[in-house]
Structure 1
Amino acid sequence: MSSLFEPTHAGSLALANRIVMAPLTRNRSPRAVPGPLAVEYYRQRASAGLIVSEGTAISQQGQGYADVPGLYAPEQLEGWRKVTAAVHAAGGKIVTQLWHVGRVSHTELQADGQAPVAPSAIPAATKTYLIRNGQGGFEATSTPRALAAEELPGIVDDFRKAARAALDSGFDGVEIHGANGYLLDQFMKLGANHRTDHYGGSIANRIRFPLEVVRAVAAEIGAGRVGLRISPVTPANGISDPDPQPLFEALLAELAPLGLAYIHVIEGATGGPREIDDRPFDYRKLKAAYRAAGGKAAWMVNNGYDRHLADEALADGADLVAFGRPFIANPDLVRRLRERAPLQVPDRATMYGGGAEGYTDYPTLPA
C-alpha cells in the first residue's frame, strides 16, 4: 500500500510526498498582484508534495473576483517569481492554476465594464466577491454574452501564453481549471451551453474547446508539466449536466494519449458532500475508462479528505490526495497528518480578503 508520505512522480514532477495543497482563493492580491503576504503564505506550506496555487486569471477577461492574482502583466509575474523562489528555497514544488471564470464575473471586474463571456448568454446562479469603499462582499454575477466561435482561438492562446508565463515565473508546471462551473466546465455542461455550432450539442462538440486548451498548453510547456482539474457533478456556481458520466469518460479518453502530469478530480460537491443523491457518479469507472484508453497521469482525488479517507484512497489506487481548507489553518498539515495531531479550524470571518490575520498567522506545532 502506498503511503501519503512517500515520494512519487506526477509526469515530470518529482514530489516529496503524495499530499497536495489544493487551490484556495483568498482574495489578497490587490490589483491582481501577489505580494509579500503571498510569499510567506505559500512558503509556510511548502512541505506539501505539491502546492497548486490559488486560481490565477489568464487575462483581464478571465478575472471573476476582486483581488485575485493574474498571470498576464509584468508586475504579476514579478510577484509570482518571489513566491516560487520562496517555495523552492523551502524544498517545495508549486504549479499555478490557470483560470478563466467565464460567466462567473461582474462588469466591474471586466475591461471597460463589459459583460463577462460564456458559451451561451445564461447567467450563473451564484455570487462573486467585490470590494466597494474598501469593504469586501458578495454580489450577484452579471449576465454574460455568448462568445463567438472566432473568439475562441484567442482564449486558447491566452491559456498558452499564461502557461509559458508561469514557467518563466518559476512555477514547476500548471493546472488547467476545468472545474467548478468556470469557463471550460461551462462549455462541457448542458446547463450552461446551449450552442448550436460545433462547440455545442453533442458530447464531442462540448469537449472540443477544453481539449483545444489542454492540447495547446501541453504543446507549449510539455504535457508532463500539465494537470487538469475536473468536477463531474458539483453544483458550484450554478453548473449542471443531466448525464456527466459519458461526458467525462469521453473527455479523459481524448486526453489519455497526451501524457499529462495528473488528473485532479473533485468528488461530489466542491467543499460540500462527497455524495449527491440526485447526481450519482462512478469515479472508479471514470478512472478505469481513462486507464483503458492508455492514460497514465497521476490520479489526484479531492473533497473532504482526512488521514483515514486519504489512506483508503491510496489503497484503492489513487496516486495523490489534495487537501483544501485544512491547509488554510494548518501550514504544517503534512506533519500534523503524519503525527495524527489535531487540526486547527479555519476562521471563516478571515477566509476572503484582508491581511495577515487568518492568512499567515496560524501557528504550527512546537518543534
Structure 2
Amino acid sequence: MSRVLLAPDKFKGTLTAAEVAAHLSAGIRAALPNAEIVVVPVSDGGDGLLDAAVGAGYARVPVRASGPTGIVGDTWYARLGDRAAVEMAEICGLGRLPDGVPAPATATTRGVGEVIGAALDAGCREILLGVGGSASTDGGAGLVTALGARVLGPEGERIEDGGLALAGARALDTSGLHPALAEAEITVACDVDNPLSGPAGAAAVYGPQKGAAPDLVEQLDAALSHWADLVAATTGADERDLPGAGAAGGLAFGAVAVLGARLRTGAEVVQELTGLEEALAGADLVVTGEGSLDDQTLRGKAPAGVAAAARRAGVAVVAVAGRCLLDEQALAGAGIGSVHALEDEASYPGEAFEKPGLLLERIGARIAREELGQR
C-alpha cells in the first residue's frame, strides 16, 4: 500500500492549505482507494500558521481585538498547553481592512499585541507569532503599546496609531510592559530578510503593496528611521538592520527590539510545529505546493522547506501550484521532481480561480496513477 504525505501551503486568494490537501486527497483516493494519506498543512509563517497549529493539535481560542483600522472584531489564536500560536493576518492583516480600503499611513498592529496579551493572561509563556500579509507599516509600535509600552509625543501625549505618526514620537516608556513578558519566550516566524528602513526596508519594498504612494513611502521610511533611533536610545540596542526586522511593516522590529523576541525562518518553525520530519518516515511520495511557484519560493517559502526535508529523508517530491514560473533546473535544484499547475489543467482562462478544488482533484488522481500506481 502506498503512503503519500500531503504538505501543501495555501493557494492565496482561493484555498487554505487544509482545503488544498482535502481536494488532493479526494483525487488520490478516487484513483487509489487503498492509499494511505497523511496530511500536514504547512505555512511560511504568515497566513496559514493557525491552520497548521490546529492540524498539530492546538485548540482554537476565540478573542476580540483591534483590526488594522482600530475596529474591534472577533479573531482567535491557537493554544496547546502553555504554548500559543498567533497569526497577524488573522488579526490585522490586509484581509481585515474594512471594505478592502488600504490605510497605509494609519494602519496599526495594536490588535496583535492585544491577542498576545490575552494569551499571556491565560498562562501561555511560549508565543509563536506568524507575520505576513500585514496592512500596516508602524514598526511594531501598535504591538508594543498594546502590551503596556507608551509612545509619547512632544507634550507627553500618546501618539496616534500608524506609521506616519511615528515621525512625531519623542519618548518611549517601557516601564509598563506586561509583566509576563519577562518570563515569556516570543518567536517571530517570517520569510523575508528586509531591514526596517532604507531602500530594502519595510516602507520602500512593501509600502506600495499596501497602498502607499511614492511620497508617502518616503515619509513612512523616515518615520521608521526616527522610531528606530528612539527605540535604540531607550533600549541601548539598535536592531533596525537585523535581517527580517522589516517583516510585516516592521512588526518584527518592534517585537525584537522592545519585547526581546527572536526571529526564525517561518517554514522551519512550522515544520517543527507540525512534526513534518516525523511524518516523512515511511512515505513513498510527498506532495507540496502553493499558489505560485516562483523565485520567492526558493527564498525560504514553505514548499522549498518541505522539499529540502523530503530530500534529506530520501523521499520523492511532486508539487502542485496555481502557476509555475520556475524552470526544470530551478525545480530540480530545490528537490522538486515535477509540477502540476492549475493553469495547465484548466480548460479555459479563469477556471483555476473559479474551480481550483475540482482541478486539484483531477491532479490528485493523476499523481496517484503516475507516481503511485506502480508501487
TM over 0.5: no
| TM-score grouping bracket, smaller chain normalisation | 0.3 to 0.5
Q: Larger RCO: Structure 1 or Structure 2 (Cα < 8 Å, ≥ 6 residues apart)?
A: 2
Structure index of larger Rg: 2
Instruction: Tell me which protein shows more helix as a share of its residues.
Output: 2
Q: If the length of structure 1 is used for normalisation, what is the TM-score?
A: 0.39
Q: If the length of structure 2 is used for normalisation, what is the TM-score?
A: 0.38
